[in-house]
Amino acid sequence: MMDKNARPQKPQVDMKVLKRVLAYIFKQYKFIFAIAMLCTVFSSFAGVYGTLFIEELINDHILPLVDAVKAGEAANFTGLLLALVKLASIYLVGIIANFSCAYLMVIIAQGVLKKIRDDMFSHMQTLPIKYFDTNAFGDIMSLYTNDIDTLEQMVAQSIPQIINTVVTIVSVFFSMLVLSIPLTLFMVLTVGCMVLITKYIGGNSARFFVAQQQAFGKLDGYIEEMINGQKVVKVFNHEEHSKEEFDKLNYNLRDNARKANTFANILMPIMGNLGYLQYVLIACVGGSLAMAGVPNFTLVGIGLLDLGVIAAFLELSRAFTRPITQLSQQINSIAMALAGAKRIFKMMDERSELDEGYVTLVNAKYDENGKICECEEHTGIWAWKHPHIAEGTVTYTRLTGDVRLNEVDFGYVEEKTVLHDVSLYAEPGQKVAFVGATGAGKTTITNLINRFYDIADGKIRYDGININKIKKADLRRSLGIVLQETNLFTGTVKENIRYGKLDATDEEVYAAAKLANADEFIRRLPQGYDTMLSGGGANLSQGQRQLIAIARAAVADPPVMILDEATSSIDTRTEAIVSAGMDSLMHGRTVFVIAHRLSTVQNSDVIMVLERGRIIERGSHDALIAEKGKYYQLYTGAFELE
């Protein structure tokens, strides 16, 4: 539980992360980004010019005309017309610049976002299984949803806005200095107060938004757990309790959300009205000074404070306050986006799976001398190509599926060894079964064979080659796997089977399905092999999903298979079909089975009984039964398989 009194922190702008986000922009879009920023500058200038034009309009055109008419002269509007044409052209440039900037920023933001997304996913593909075992799926998912969304906001909106804001502030400030230094100083004073207020309110708002997110996360977690166990809630009449706890979390969220929203809501009226107050003050103070005939100091010299100057200054004051009050909000939103970006980069900084292997798997054939050699075409024969750098030679070893573990120790974390001194060998075509309780280390052994996890020392040999020397991709291609949890992908049945061999022909797919005993039920599906599977095959039964997974492994046709039998109870009839499918898949291959069914265990060549990471018994079924040890107990049902 978190300390309830801990005040949530206001997010801070992380410069390192910001630099990295900007690097993404500069790398691909240096030129476009420069143009976009230039456009922003033009567009802000046009805005400032428009504001300044009011002074020109009143002082240089309207007032002289009024005086002229009063003096009885005819009014000549040509000057005004010219000035307006000039203004219109500058406005036109501003509008075009504004549009170009918005348009270019779309290109940049979307491009950068796509690049980051693709980089994230590509990098994630290279991460070791350990990463996925130690990070919650929900957390990884939110990188792709929430975090990337806020980042998008930042690149597409906050960055150009903040540049626009800064340019406006600077140019307005200089224009104000040109108009009047004393009034500008007065402005700076009042604006300073306003900035302090914005900082306070904006900071609180950001802080409570963080608190709101936390409260939201807690409620979300609770809802998720309860809704998933809703049937249990019903069966135990637990509804009232569940409501009580929900209300607590719900009210906590409400209170935090109210505070966060209140601060966000009151910022605008406060800033707006302070702006007006400032306006009044400047008008009255400036007016009084003008009346008193006080000289006006400006950047360009000394003059008189007159109506036009004050009128223009008033307009500028509003153009000055607005961006300044927005600035702190923009900085807050950037800080929040960077917090998400930080999580994204953390994932992208995770170390990839290390692969120093150089032995590769190639198509092979026997030449006329009966020696094995590499060839281009698919022959059904595979060989390990083993370059020896020191001698400059290459040797070929035929892939047969001989796997040996020699005194393997292993722990997922250093201080806790889960496998102790495990030795075993599987000759080509042999079937090795692992039997033992949950946590005995069955799955760990298979994780080591296909190098989901690495052992420090090369004590595992495949066809006589240290598996650390084999390229991971080639090693895994030579190993088939059927897992307990059958993960199917959105797509047709055919596509799912083809996952085992992407270039498999339809005939190969059908043959694999037949081998797996899956053909019959697939043909009975509404669209046969073209039936769409969604939600991981939620529309199929557990047994049917398994059959497809078996077919998927069958189409890959690897010499070595790792099978993790499903534990969940399927009925006797389906079980018979599935195990027949498994049996035909195992035929003629080296197989490692994590066994949960007696029938599989029995006809294995070797059975390994594991207990707490050690092999405690090994031998054939008959030998182990005769031994009357743990296996015997297990077999007679006196001890849990799972």
Site for another protein in 247-276 (CB under 8 A): 247, 250-251, 253-254, 257-259, 261-262, 264-266, 268-270, 272-273, 276
Give the torsion sign (CA, 21, 23, 28, 34): positive
Q: Is 57 in the site for another protein (CB under 8 A)?
A: yes
Q: Is 1 in the site for another protein (CB under 8 A)?
A: no
**Residue 184 CB, nearest distance to another protein (Å)?**
18
Q: Is 203 in the site for another protein (CB under 8 A)?
A: no
Encoded amino acid at 604, one letter: S
- How many residues make contact with another protein (CB under 8 A)? 154
**Residue 102 CB, nearest distance to another protein (Å)?**
4
Please say which residue, 77 or 174, places its beta carbon nearer to another protein: 77
Report 486-505 residues binding another protein (CB under 8 A). Answer: 487-490, 499-500, 502
Please say which residue, 164 or 298, places its beta carbon nearer to another protein: 164
- Which stretch, 7-15, 136-144, 374-382, 388-396, contacts another protein (CB under 8 A)? 136-144
- Sequence-ordered list of residues with C-beta below 8 angstroms from that of 181, at least 6 positions apart, any chain: 296, 297, 298, 299
Phi-psi region of 416 (alpha: psi -120 to 50; beta: other; left: phi over 0): beta
Among 91, 297, 412, 453, the residue binding another protein under the rule CB under 8 A is 91
**Residue 28 CB, nearest distance to another protein (Å)?**
13
Among 26, 121, 174, 366, the residue binding another protein under the rule CB under 8 A is 121
Among 22, 362, 381, 570, the residue binding another protein under the rule CB under 8 A is 570
Q: Six-digit token pair at 366?
A: 């026997």
Please say which residue, 268 or 373, places its beta carbon nearer to another protein: 268
Please say which residue, 13 or 641, places its beta carbon nearer to another protein: 641
Please compute, for residue 571, the number of CA atoms within 13 A of its CA located in the half-sphere on the CB side. Answer: 2
Please say which residue, 372 or 479, places its beta carbon nearer to another protein: 479
Strand-by-strand arrangement of the 372-374 sheet: 372-374, 360-366, 382-388, 393-398
Report 94-113 residues binding another protein (CB under 8 A). Answer: 94-96, 98-99, 102-103, 105-107, 109-111, 113
**Residue 370 CB, nearest distance to another protein (Å)?**
31
Among 2, 6, 235, 390, the residue binding another protein under the rule CB under 8 A is 235
In angstroms, the CA 435 to CA 441 distance is 9
Strands 560-564 and 479-482, by their bridges, are parallel
Among 13, 22, 181, 311, the residue binding another protein under the rule CB under 8 A is 311
- Work out the end-to-end distance of the chain between its first and last CA atoms, rounded to an integer number of angstroms: 33
Please say which residue, 254 or 461, places its beta carbon nearer to another protein: 254
Q: Is 35 in the site for another protein (CB under 8 A)?
A: no
Report 212-231 residues binding another protein (CB under 8 A). Answer: 216, 219-220, 223-231
In angstroms, the CA 468 to CA 460 distance is 8
Pick from 460, 481, 483, 499: which is nearest to 357 by CA?
Answer: 460
Q: Is 573 in the site for another protein (CB under 8 A)?
A: yes
Phi-psi region of 301 (alpha: psi -120 to 50; beta: other; left: phi over 0): left
Could you say which DSSP state residue 416 is in?
B
Contact assessment for residue 479 and residue 460, using Cβ atoms and an 8 Å cutoff: no
Among 373, 576, 580, 626, the residue binding another protein under the rule CB under 8 A is 576
Encoded amino acid at 518, one letter: A
Phi-psi region of 525 (alpha: psi -120 to 50; beta: other; left: phi over 0): beta
Q: Is 12 in the site for another protein (CB under 8 A)?
A: no
Torsion of CA 632, 634, 639, 642, to 10 degrees: 160
Report 364-423 residues binding another protein (CB under 8 A). Answer: none
**Residue 2 CB, nearest distance to another protein (Å)?**
15
Q: Is 479 in the site for another protein (CB under 8 A)?
A: yes
Torsion of CA 371, 376, 381, 385, to 10 degrees: 70
Pick from 546, 501, 544: which is nearest to 525 by CA?
Answer: 544
